[in-house]
C-alpha cells in the first residue's frame, strides 16, 4: 500500500509559493495514494508562537487546504497535537538519533544562527519529530521541497537504525516524492529570494486570503526590468524577476515555461502583468471564496480536525504498540 504523509506549519498566511510549490501537488496525490496531511502545530512551537495566533493559523491553514481541494472525507487532515503518538514516537527517536546526525542539519544552523545557545531544545530535535510524524503511520512516500530533503534523509537513517538496533523491520524507508512541476516561487520584490511568509514586505507575496484587488495591486507593484519579455529561456538569464513572473504564469496556466514564454514573447510588462493578474484571480479567486466561507465557521473546521485525528490515531496506535513491545516496555 502506498501511503503519503506530509506536514505544513501553522505559522503565518498560506501564500502562492505554498500553493504552487506544495499544496497543489498534495491535491493531485489524492488520486493515487492514501494521504495523511497534518497541520504541524507541535513543530510550530519550536519557536515561540502567540497562542491566539497559533489557534487562528491552525484553522486558517486547514481551511486553505480544504479550499484548495484536499478532501478530508476520503483522506485524513488533522492537527499534530491531537494525536499524542507523534510526540511519543519522537521521544523514542530522540534516543535513536545521534547528536552528530542532528549537528549536520543545515536548517537548524540557519534558524538558530549565531544564537545557538539560546535556541530551544525542540528546534534542535525538530527533525526527530518530523521522522516520528512520518513513521508513526509507516508512510511510504513524502512530498517534500528541496529545503526538507535533508530531514527526510534523517528519517530514513532513524528508521534504519531502529530496525538494526532491535533486529526488526517495523519501519519502511520513506521515499521522497519530488514532483515534476513543483514551482519555486520567488518574492515579487526580489526574484532571487524565495517567496516567504516571514518577508517584512507584504508586497513580496500573494496570500491565499488576498482579494482580487490585493492580487492586482501586488502584481502591478511587482519588480521588473525595462526590457520586454523574451521569446526563449536564454533571454531570462540575469533577469530573475522576469523569470519568476513567467514561471508563475506557467504554473498557474499549467503549461511549460517554454510555452509560457512563447505565448508572451515581446510583451511589455504592463500588458503581461494585466494578463497575469486575470490568470491569478481566476485560479485563486475560487479558493479564496471557499476559504472565507470555511474560516467563518470554526466549528466545522474543528470538527474536521477532530475526526481526522481520530482516524489518524486508529492507524498509529497499533504501530506504536508494536514499537513499545519491540523496545521492551511493559504494557497490558
The residues assigned a catalytic role are 111, 194, 197
Pick from 14, 76, 96, 142: which binds ligand TRP (CB under 6 A)? 142
Measured CA to CA, the distance from residue 272 to residue 246 in angstroms comes to: 9
Residue 134 interacts with ligand TRP (CB under 6 A)? yes
Measured CA to CA, the distance from residue 192 to residue 239 in angstroms comes to: 10
- How far out from the chain centre does Cα 306 lie? 21
Pick from 3, 43, 156, 189: which binds ligand TRP (CB under 6 A)? 43
Pick from 85, 133, 199, 247: which binds ligand TRP (CB under 6 A)? 133
The nearer residue to ligand TRP, 9 or 58, going by C-beta atoms, is 9
Residue 209 interacts with ligand TRP (CB under 6 A)? no
The nearer residue to ligand TRP, 130 or 222, going by C-beta atoms, is 130
Least distance (Å) from ligand TRP to the CB of residue 26?
10
Pick from 40, 63, 280, 304: which binds ligand TRP (CB under 6 A)? 40
Coil/strand/helix, residue 34 = strand
Least distance (Å) from ligand TRP to the CB of residue 330?
30
Residue 141 interacts with ligand TRP (CB under 6 A)? no
Residues 136-154: b if buried by 16+ CB within 10 A, e if exposed: bbbbbbbbbbeebeebbeb
Residue 78: in which H helix or E strand, if any? strand 76-79
Please name the residues in contact with 86: beta carbons below 8 A apart, sequence gap of 6 or more: 42, 80, 129, 132, 133, 136, 316
**How many residues interact with ligand TRP (rule CB under 6 A)?**
12
Residue 5 interacts with ligand TRP (CB under 6 A)? yes
Nearest to 167 by CA among 326, 329, 302, 313: 326
Pick from 4, 7, 59, 216: which binds ligand TRP (CB under 6 A)? 7
Dihedral sign for Cα atoms in the order 202, 204, 290, 216: positive
Q: In the stretch 92-131, what mask flags binding to ligand TRP with x, by CB under 6 A?
A: --------------------------------------x-
- 49: cell is 508562537
Residue 140 interacts with ligand TRP (CB under 6 A)? no
Least distance (Å) from ligand TRP to the CB of residue 40?
4
Measured CA to CA, the distance from residue 125 to residue 108 in angstroms comes to: 9
- How far out from the chain centre does Cα 324 lie? 30
- 118: cell is 539560546
Residue 41 near residue 79 (C-beta atoms within 8 A): yes
Residue 9 interacts with ligand TRP (CB under 6 A)? yes
> Quick one: which segment of 1-9, 46-54, 91-99, 117-125 binds ligand TRP (CB under 6 A)?
1-9
Least distance (Å) from ligand TRP to the CB of residue 311?
17
Q: Which residue is nearest to ligand TRP (CB)?
A: 7
Pick from 140, 148, 243, 288: which binds ligand TRP (CB under 6 A)? 148
- Cβ count within 10 A of residue 106: 10
Coil/strand/helix, residue 23 = helix
The nearer residue to ligand TRP, 89 or 229, going by C-beta atoms, is 89
- Cβ count within 10 A of residue 50: 9
Residue 11 interacts with ligand TRP (CB under 6 A)? no
Measured CA to CA, the distance from residue 250 to residue 122 in angstroms comes to: 39
Residue 144 interacts with ligand TRP (CB under 6 A)? yes
Residue 174 near residue 160 (C-beta atoms within 8 A): no
The nearer residue to ligand TRP, 86 or 273, going by C-beta atoms, is 86
Residues that bind ligand TRP (CB under 6 A): 5-7, 9, 40, 43, 130, 133-134, 142, 144, 148
Amino acid at each position: 500500500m502506498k501511503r503519503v504523509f506530509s506536514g505544513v506549519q501553522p505559522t503565518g498566511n498560506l501564500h502562492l509559493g505554498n500553493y504552487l510549490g506544495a499544496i497543489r501537488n498534495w491535491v493531485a496525490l489524492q488520486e493515487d495514494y492514501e494521504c495523511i496531511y497534518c497541520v504541524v502545530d507541535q513543530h510550530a512551537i519550536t519557536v515561540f508562537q502567540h497562542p491566539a495566533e497559533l489557534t487562528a493559523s491552525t484553522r486558517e491553514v486547514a481551511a486553505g487546504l480544504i479550499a484548495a481541494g484536499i478532501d478530508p472525507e476520503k483522506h485524513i487532515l488533522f492537527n499534530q497535537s491531537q494525536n499524542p503518538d507523534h510526540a511519543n514516537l519522537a521521544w523514542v527517536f530522540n534516543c535513536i538519533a545521534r547528536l552528530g546526525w542532528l549537528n549536520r542539519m543545515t536548517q537548524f544552523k540557519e534558524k538558530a544562527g549565531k544564537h545557538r545557545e539560546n535556541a530551544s531544545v525542540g528546534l534542535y530535535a525538530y527533525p526527530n519529530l518530523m521522522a516520528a510524524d512520518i513513521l508513526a503511520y509507516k508512510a511510504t512516500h513524502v512530498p517534500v521541497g528541496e529545503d526538507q530533503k535533508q530531514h527526510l534523509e534523517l528519517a530514513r537513517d532513524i528508521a534504519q537504525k531502529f530496525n538494526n538496533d532491535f533486529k526488526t523491520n517495523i519501519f519502511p524507508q520513506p521515499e521522497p516524492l519530488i514532483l515534476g512541476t513543483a514551482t519555486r516561487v520567488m518574492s515579487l520584490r526580489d526574484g532571487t529570494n524565495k517567496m516567504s511568509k516571514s518577508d517584512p514586505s507584504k508586497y513580496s507575496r500573494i496570500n491565499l486570503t488576498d482579494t482580487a484587488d490585493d492580487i492586482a495591486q501586488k502584481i502591478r507593484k511587482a519588480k521588473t526590468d525595462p526590457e520586454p519579455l523574451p521569446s526563449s529561456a536564454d533571454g531570462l538569464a540575469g533577469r530573475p524577476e522576469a523569470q519568476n513572473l513567467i514561471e508563475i504564469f506557467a504554473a498557474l496556466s499549467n503549461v511549460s515555461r517554454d510555452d509560457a514564454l512563447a505565448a508572451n514573447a515581446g510583451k511589455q510588462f504592463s500588458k503581461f502583468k494585466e494578463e497575469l493578474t486575470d490568470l491569478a484571480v481566476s485560479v485563486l479567486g475560487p479558493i479564496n471564496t471557499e476559504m472565507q466561507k470555511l474560516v467563518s465557521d470554526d466549528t466545522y473546521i474543528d470538527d474536521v480536525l477532530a475526526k481526522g485525528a481520530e482516524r489518524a490515531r486508529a492507524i498509529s496506535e497499533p504501530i506504536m504498540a508494536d514499537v513499545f513491545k519491540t523496545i521492551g516496555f511493559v504494557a497490558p
